[in-house]
Amino acid sequence: YGDFNHKIDYVFKVVLIGDSAVGKTQLLARFARNQFSADSKATIGVEFQTKTLIIDNKTVKAQIWDTAGQERYRAVTSAYYRGAVGAMLVYDMTKRQSFDNMAKWLEELRGHADKNIVVMLIGNKCDLGTLRAVPTEDAEEFAQRENLFFMETSALESTNVETAFLTILTEIYRLIS
Ligand code: GDP
């Protein structure tokens, strides 16, 4: 509704990438609509949702893209990355493999995206602390080495979701303004 009353100063495209089932769709649902559903996944095909926010007195429309299952078929296309100014690399902190695959996703991202893209590493499902398979320090070390922002989140409990998106969007804003 806010969209009616404000002119949009900026549109920022941010893509979500990472293995299937790490929680990309639920992170987006939490950020864009403050919703979560335990039983997700509707359609296959690229989808995005938007949320308009104010950063530094400017109206920024965040256009967040979800692979919507394409990653299962290794079919994330260059069109998905085109025009992206931010990327969230998401793993499931209870699944070591999803973290180990971050290097592969980063390589794919760097092969397709603009070199100035802002990248944030996200360890999702921090509500499942007792099942943790990726120590925070491992992720911090990877993030530092690769020059990524890093945050642990829970789409289920809403932990750090807003903060993660705000951080990446604010950083993008800083770079382009
Ligand atoms: P995607 O394939 O990466 O888009 O993953 P989904 O968003 O579809 O989530 C996969 C599964 O993990 C679903 O059953 C979600 O309900 C669940 N899930 C997503 N985020 C969280 C979270 O933060 N905590 C917990 N416990 N489960 C989550």
Mutate to test the pocket of ligand 1, among 26, 88, 162 (most ligand atoms within 8 A of CB): 26
Q: For the segment 14-67, what is each residue's pLDDT rounded down to a tens digit?
A: 999 999 999 999 999 999 988 888 776 654 555 899 999 999 999 999 999 998
∠ Cα 67 23 165 (to 5°): 80
Query: DSSP secondary structure string, 25-90?
Result: HHHHHHHHHS---SS-----S-EEEEEEEEETTEEEEEEEEE-TTGGGGT---HHHHTT-SEEEEE
Q: Give the closest residue (by CA) to ligand 1 atom 19.
A: 23
Q: Give the closest residue (by CA) to ligand 1 atom 26.
A: 125
Mean pLDDT on 155-160: 98
Closest to 71 (Cα-Cα) out of 124, 115, 21: 21
Lateral strand order in the sheet of 47-55: 47-55, 58-66, 10-17, 86-92, 118-124, 149-152
Q: Give the closest residue (by CA) to ligand 1 atom 24.
A: 125
Nearest-atom index, ligand 1, CA of 69: 2
